[in-house]
C-alpha cells in the first residue's frame, strides 16, 4: 500500500481540483469530495461541475481506490485535510482540532466517572468533531465496542458542522447536529455529560450576555465563562462536564470571581494542568476542568489537582492514570 503522504497528496489534489472548479472554500470542497466518495457519485448542481470536470474527477477518484482504503486511513486523511481547511480558509483559531493526546486524558477521566449506562453526551462547541469523536472511540474501545452514548453537537458555523457530519460518518458514529448559538436555549434534551474544548474570546451579543451571572460588568463578556454557565444550566442533575478551558479562567487575575461563582453551583472534581510544551506562549495555556452538577446522592469530594509532565511520554500518562485511580478510590468509589 502507498504511504500516507502519497495518499494525502492524491486526496489533496482531488479537493483542490473541485475547489477551483466550483470556486468555493477549501472546507466546502473537502466536504463535497468526501460526500462524493462515500456516495460513489459526483454531485452536480446547476451544471457544476461541468461534464469535463466530472470526467476528470472520476479518473482522480478511481485512482484513490477509496473503497479498499482502511477506515482508519480515511479518518486520518480527513483529519489532516480538515486542519488544512481551517488554515487555508483563515478560520478562527478556536476551530483548530484538539490534540488527540488531550482527548486520551479526558477519556481516562470519563471512564472513571461516568456510570455504565446509556448517556446523552453533548459538545456545545463541536467544530469538526475531533475531540468528541476521539473520546467516544476510546471509551467504546475500553468498553468492548459497546456504545452507550447518544451524541449531540452544537455549533453556529454550518461549514464546520458539515465537516463534523462527514467525520462522524467516517468514524461510524451516530450524532445529531444543531446549528445554533450555543449561548441561546439548547434544542436538545438535558445531557448527562458535556465534553468540549471551549471557544476563547469575547462574546459580541451583550443583550444575550446580560442573562448570565458570569457576564462582564463593563464591555463584552468572556465567551468561555458564559459557556461554562450555560453548561451548568443545561446539565442533568448529577451530570458531568469535561472541559478544556483557558488557564486564566481558573487561576488568572480575573479567576477569583468566576471560581467563587462556579464552586457555589457545582462540585469540582478535577483540574488537570497541561504540559507547557503544548502551547507556544503562556497566554494560550489551557487546563482540563471537570465538575459535577449537584443532584440526589451527589456529595463533595477532594479535587484532583495535578499537572501532566508531557503528552509525548507514555510514562507521564501512566503516572497520571495512577494518580487518577488513587484519587477515585479514596474519594469517589
**C-beta atoms surrounding 108 within 10 Å:** 20
CA distances from 114 to 80, 87, 111, 117, 170 (A): 31, 35, 6, 8, 26
Question: Which of 95-99, 146-150, 180-184, 298-302 shows the lowest mean pLDDT across its residues?
Answer: 95-99
pLDDT band at residue 216 using 50, 70 and 90 as cut-offs = confident
Instruction: Please determine, for residue 228, whether its predicted confidence score (pLDDT) is greater than 90.
Output: yes
Mean pLDDT score, 306-323:
85
Write down the pLDDT at residue 91: 67
- Output the CA torsion sign for 185, 191, 193, 197: negative
Residues, the chain: 333
Long-range Cβ contacts of 100-104 (<8 Å, 24+ apart): 100/130, 100/134, 101/311, 101/312, 102/131, 102/197, 102/244, 102/274, 102/278, 102/288, 102/311, 103/130, 103/131, 103/134, 103/135, 103/138, 104/134, 104/138, 104/311, 104/317
Write down the pLDDT at residue 176: 96
Place of cell 504511504: 3
Domain count, the chain: 2
Pick the residue with more confidence: 184 or 331?
A: 184
Give yes or no: residues 56 and 126 share one domain.
no
The percent of residues above 70 in pLDDT, for the chain, comes to 95
Instruction: Please determine, for residue 96, whether its predicted confidence score (pLDDT) is greater than 80.
Output: no
What is the largest distance, in Å, between two alpha-carbon atoms of the chain?
67
- Domain final residue, candidates 50, 72, 90: 90
Give yes or no: residues 229 and 115 share one domain.
yes
Give yes or no: residues 272 and 145 share one domain.
yes
- Domain extent for 300: 94-331
> Peptide bond preceding 111: is omega within 30 degrees of 0, i.e. cis?
no
- Measured in degrees and rounded to the nearest 5, phi and psi for residue 168 equal -65, -45
Instruction: Please determine, for residue 285, whether its predicted confidence score (pLDDT) is greater than 90.
Output: no
Average pLDDT over all residues of the chain: 89
- Domain final residue, candidates 90, 121, 145: 90
Which CATH number fits the domain that encloses residue 312? 3.40.50.150
User: Burial level of 115, CB count in 10 A (0-12/13-18/19+)?
Assistant: exposed
Mean pLDDT score, 105-125:
93
Give yes or no: residues 55 and 191 share one domain.
no
Rounded to two decimals, the pTM is 0.90
**C-beta atoms surrounding 72 within 10 Å:** 10
pLDDT band at residue 88 using 50, 70 and 90 as cut-offs = confident
pLDDT in tens, 187-209: 999 999 999 999 888 999 999 99
Give yes or no: residues 207 and 302 share one domain.
yes
Give yes or no: residues 46 and 180 share one domain.
no
Give yes or no: residues 140 and 208 share one domain.
yes
Which CATH number fits the domain that encloses residue 13? 1.10.150
pLDDT band at residue 152 using 50, 70 and 90 as cut-offs = very high
Mean pLDDT score, 127-145:
87
- Domain final residue, candidates 90, 107, 133: 90
- Measured in degrees and rounded to the nearest 5, phi and psi for residue 133 equal -70, -40
Give yes or no: residues 86 and 194 share one domain.
no
Give yes or no: residues 145 and 182 share one domain.
yes
Give yes or no: residues 52 and 150 share one domain.
no
CA distances from 19 to 12, 16, 64 (A): 10, 5, 18
Give yes or no: residues 119 and 40 share one domain.
no
Q: Where are the alpha helices (DSSP H) in the chain?
A: 4-22, 26-39, 51-64, 71-88, 100-113, 130-142, 158-170, 206-209, 223-234, 247-251, 255-265, 314-331
Give yes or no: residues 48 and 174 share one domain.
no
Instruction: Please determine, for residue 295, whether its predicted confidence score (pLDDT) is greater than 60.
Output: yes
Amino acid at each position: 500500500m502507498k504511504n500516507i503522504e502519497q495518499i494525502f497528496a492524491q486526496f489533496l489534489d482531488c479537493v483542490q481540483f473541485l475547489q477551483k472548479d466550483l470556486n468555493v472554500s477549501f472546507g466546502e470542497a473537502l466536504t463535497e469530495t468526501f460526500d462524493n466518495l462515500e456516495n460513489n457519485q459526483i454531485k452536480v448542481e446547476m451544471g457544476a461541475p461541468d461534464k469535463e470536470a466530472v470526467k476528470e474527477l472520476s479518473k482522480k477518484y478511481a485512482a484513490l481506490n477509496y473503497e479498499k482504503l482502511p477506515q482508519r486511513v480515511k479518518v486520518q486523511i480527513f483529519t489532516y485535510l480538515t486542519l488544512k481547511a481551517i488554515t487555508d480558509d483563515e478560520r478562527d483559531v478556536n476551530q483548530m482540532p484538539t490534540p488527540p493526546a488531550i482527548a486520551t486524558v479526558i477519556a481516562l477521566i470519563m471512564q472513571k466517572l461516568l456510570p455504565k449506562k446509556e448517556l446523552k453526551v453533548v459538545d456545545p462547541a463541536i467544530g469538526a468533531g475531533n475531540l468528541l469523536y476521539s473520546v467516544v472511540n476510546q471509551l467504546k474501545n475500553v468498553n468492548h465496542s459497546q456504545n452507550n452514548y447518544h451524541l449531540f453537537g452544537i455549533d453556529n458555523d454550518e461549514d464546520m458542522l458539515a465537516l463534523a457530519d462527514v467525520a462522524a460518518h467516517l468514524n461510524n458514529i451516530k450524532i445529531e447536529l444543531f446549528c445554533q448559538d450555543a449561548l441561546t436555549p439548547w434544542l436538545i434534551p438535558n445531557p448527562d455529560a458535556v465534553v468540549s474544548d471551549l471557544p476563547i474570546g469575547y462574546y459580541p451579543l451583550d443583550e444575550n450576555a446580560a442573562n448570565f451571572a458570569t457576564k462582564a460588568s463593563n464591555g463584552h463578556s468572556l465567551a468561555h465563562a458564559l459557556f461554562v454557565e450555560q453548561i451548568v444550566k443545561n446539565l442533568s442533575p448529577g451530570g458531568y462536564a469535561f472541559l478544556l478551558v483557558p488557564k486564566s479562567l481558573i487561576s488568572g487575575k480575573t479567576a477569583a470571581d468566576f471560581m467563587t461563582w462556579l464552586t457555589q453551583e457545582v462540585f469540582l472534581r478535577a483540574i488537570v494542568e497541561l504540559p507547557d510544551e503544548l502551547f507556544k506562549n503562556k497566554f494560550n495555556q489551557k487546563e482540563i476542568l471537570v465538575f459535577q452538577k449537584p443532584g440526589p446522592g451527589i456529595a463533595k469530594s477532594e479535587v484532583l489537582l495535578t499537572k501532566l509532565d508531557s503528552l509525548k511520554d507514555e510514562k507521564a500518562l501512566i503516572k497520571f492514570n495512577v494518580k487518577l485511580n488513587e484519587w477515585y478510590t479514596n474519594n469517589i468509589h
